[in-house]
């Protein structure tokens, strides 16, 4: 009985193949927060990508079909542009926090220190 091809997973940093359940790359040490489809840019857990991309169906184990219209009529290229535009608007694609969170955290820290000093001096 022939096994159905399963998705292959690759490190985005160094490009080496990694097991589907890996938490970090054994070659470069990069930690994996989520899986990203190289075709459409969709992200999610490795369980969602076990049989390929849940959005566009891409799997490195089999060659993707080109320019196939999805159910709603959007081509893969259009879907990829949409996902990259959303990612660009939402901030970094590497899973880091948005830039605005750092000044907010510093402000909260400074205010808490100021209140602590003020009430300790009373």
Residue 35 phi, psi dihedral angles, 5° rounding: -105, 140
User: Do the Cβ atoms of 58 and 40 come closer than 8 Å?
Assistant: yes
Same domain, 71 and 27: yes
42 and 72 share a domain? yes
In a domain, 1, yes or no: no
pLDDT in tens, 89-106: 665 456 677 889 999 999
Which among 87, 95, 97, 98 is positioned nearest to 24, based on CA atoms?
95
Task: Please count the structural domains in the chain.
Answer: 2
Whole-model pTM above 0.75?
Answer: no
Strand partners, 17: 10
How much is the pLDDT for 67?
43
Whether residues 16 and 72 share a domain: the answer is yes
Residue 107: per-residue pLDDT: 97
* Residue 118 belongs to domain spanning: 96-122
Taking the CA atoms of 106, 111, 114 and 117 in sequence, report the sign of the dihedral they define.
Answer: negative
If asked whether residues 103 and 74 sit together in one domain, one would say no
Q: How many CB atoms lie within 10 A of CB 62?
A: 14
Contact 38, 58 (CB under 8 A): yes
What mean pLDDT do residues 30-54 have? 79
Residues 100 and 114 in one domain: yes
Is the domain of 100 the same as that of 86? no
d(CA 48, CA 35): 9
């Amino acid at each position: 009985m022939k096994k159905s091809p399963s998705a292959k997973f690759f490190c985005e940093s160094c490009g080496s193949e990694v097991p589907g359940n890996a938490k970090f790359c054994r070659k470069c040490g990069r930690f994996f927060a989520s899986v990203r489809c190289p075709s459409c840019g969709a992200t999610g857990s490795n369980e969602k990508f076990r049989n390929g991309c849940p959005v566009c169906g891409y799997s490195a184990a089999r060659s993707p079909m080109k320019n196939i219209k999805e159910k709603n009529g959007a081509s893969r290229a259009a879907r990829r542009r949409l996902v990259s535009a959303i990612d660009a608007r939402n901030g970094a694609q590497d899973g880091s926090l948005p830039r605005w969170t750092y000044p907010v955290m510093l402000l909260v820290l400074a205010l808490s220190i100021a209140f602590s000093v003020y009430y300790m001096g009373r």
